Amino acid sequence: MTLFDGITARLIETARLTVNVLERAGDDPATPPERTVVFIHGNVSSALFWQEIMQDLPGDLRVLAIDLRGFGGTEHAPVDATRGVRDFSDDVHATLEALGIPTAHLVGWSMGGGVILQYALDHPVLSLTLQAPVSPYGFGGTRRDGTRLTDDDAGCGGGGANPDFVRRLSEKDTSDEAPTSPRSVFRSGYVASGFHTDHEDVWVASMLTTSTATGNYPGDAAPSENWPGFAAGRIGVLNTMAPKYFDVSGIVDLAQKPPILWIHGTADAIVSDASFYDLNHLGQLGIIPGWPGAEVAPAQEMIAQTRDVLGRYADAGGDVTEISMDGVGHSPHLERPAEFRRALLGVIGYVGSPAEPAPATEAIILRSSD
């Protein structure tokens, strides 16, 4: 009931695990990589979130969306966070190998942006579209230049998850009775205030596919002598983005630099320079008591960090397009689908039939190797 018209699902057996993949009925498996687009979802979601844009892309493209481990219909295998997001990116590679896809255009949302950046460090890709991506230095616990605030990544990882939200995920709560219900979190965190969608039940169902078993979401925590009293653990989803395990700023040094589209909203509550999911920012606001001050625990400047790294990528010869959408939240592909589609077709270099002309993107290129 959660699959849209023309979208199909199938399980792919790989050498690593069984992976659920969404595809469009009628797409040609022989489509060359240059016309193949692969979507990777973010945290507490699944491939279901990509269905609208999958439907809307031109019919001569091959379009797929992959469920990461512990989400959607993919096997709920545990995540070794000490590898950063490599368990996820290695799963994606194994899936594409099983499908006979040597390379493709990759699209990653939030944590999925980090997954495809890691993928690009390990394997060739044709382009990268980063939608509201996690900072290249991970989530929380770093200064603007990426240096870590503490040796144990205090305040990062699995200990930062709200226990009541985790409980409601486990209980498959579809209500909006509390701010910590998945539906309420979708409305307050995933999209900007006032956004309405007829598909909210599908997006909530997607969130509820998140496994909360040991080794999946959110992950473990370690005690810390530093504020707020816990540090990153070694297993589970949130720990994969702790800065001691995750750093994809090395994309700057790639010999072959795929074009990058970075698309994000100015009203993003999750990934921003003042994120409501960053414990240091919450401490600064007085929401979490005992904050030791900006010298010790500054809020992470996530947008600035991404802009700095992608700026160096461009300076080193890469082609980068940044699109900042005013008033948009964490989900540009839901909130501004036509603009997202146009930008995506631009970065993959799509040239269609006379009925599907190439998109005009010149006006939205803010930084490039030119």
pLDDT computed for residue 351 by the predictor:
84
Cα 285 from Cα 223, distance rounded (Å):
23
Q: Mean pLDDT across the stretch 285-299?
A: 97
pLDDT above 50 (res 249): yes
Cα 280 from Cα 155, distance rounded (Å):
8
Q: 352 falls in which pLDDT band (50, 70, 90)?
A: confident
Q: The whole model's pTM is what?
A: 0.96
Q: Which CATH superfamily is domain 7-364 in?
A: Alpha/Beta hydrolase fold, catalytic domain (3.40.50.1820)
Q: 32 falls in which pLDDT band (50, 70, 90)?
A: very high
Percentage of the chain beyond pLDDT 70 is 95
pLDDT above 60 (res 270): yes
pLDDT computed for residue 363 by the predictor:
35
- Quickly list DSSP for 220-279: -EEE-SSTTSEEE-SBSTGGGGSTTT---GGGGG-SS---EEEEEETT-SSSSTT-TT-H
Q: 370 falls in which pLDDT band (50, 70, 90)?
A: very low
Q: Output b/e per residue, 26-38; b: 16+ Cβ within 10 A.
A: ebeeebebebbbb
Mean pLDDT for the chain? 95
pLDDT above 60 (res 365): no
pLDDT computed for residue 360 by the predictor:
47
pLDDT above 80 (res 358): no
> Tens digits of per-residue pLDDT, 151-166?
999 999 999 999 999 9
Q: Mean pLDDT across the stretch 196-210?
A: 97
Contacts of 288-294 with CB under 8 Å at 24 or more apart are 288/228, 290/227, 290/228, 291/227, 292/227
pLDDT computed for residue 94 by the predictor:
98
Q: How far apart are the first and last CA of the chain?
A: 47
